[in-house]
Structure 1
Amino acid sequence: MNSGPALVSILRQGDTLVASVHTALDDSEMVRFQHDLVRQIGEHRARGIIIDVAALDVIDSFASRTLRSIADIARLRGAVTVIVGIQPDVAFAMVCLGMDMGEVPTALDLEEGLAYLSRLRGLGSSHG
Structure 2
Amino acid sequence: MDAIPILKLDDVLLVSIQVDLSDQTAMAMQDALADRITTTGARGVVIDISALEIVDSFIGRILATTASVSRMLDADTVVVGMRPAVAITLVELGLSLGEVRTALNLEKGLALLRQAKAIAADEQ
**TM-score of the pair, normalised by structure 2:** 0.95
* Residues 67-120 of structure 1 deviation map (CA, whole Å, 9 limit, x = unaligned): 111111111111101111110111112212212211111111101100000111
C-alpha distance in structure 2 between counterparts of 1:108 and 1:65, whole Å: 20
2:94 pairs with one of 67, 77, 98 = 98
Runs of at least 4 residues of structure 1 off by over 2 A?
none
Q: Which residue of structure 2 aligns with residue 34 of structure 1? A: 30
RMSD: 1.2
Contact 2:57-2:93 within 8 A present in 1 as well: no
Contact 2:7-2:15 within 8 A present in 1 as well: yes
2:56 pairs with one of 41, 55, 60 = 60
CA apart distance, 1:7: 4.6
**TM-score of the pair, normalised by structure 1:** 0.92
In structure 2, runs of 5+ residues without a counterpart are none
Q: Secondary structure at the match of 1:12?
A: strand
C-alpha distance in structure 2 between counterparts of 1:76 and 1:43, whole Å: 14
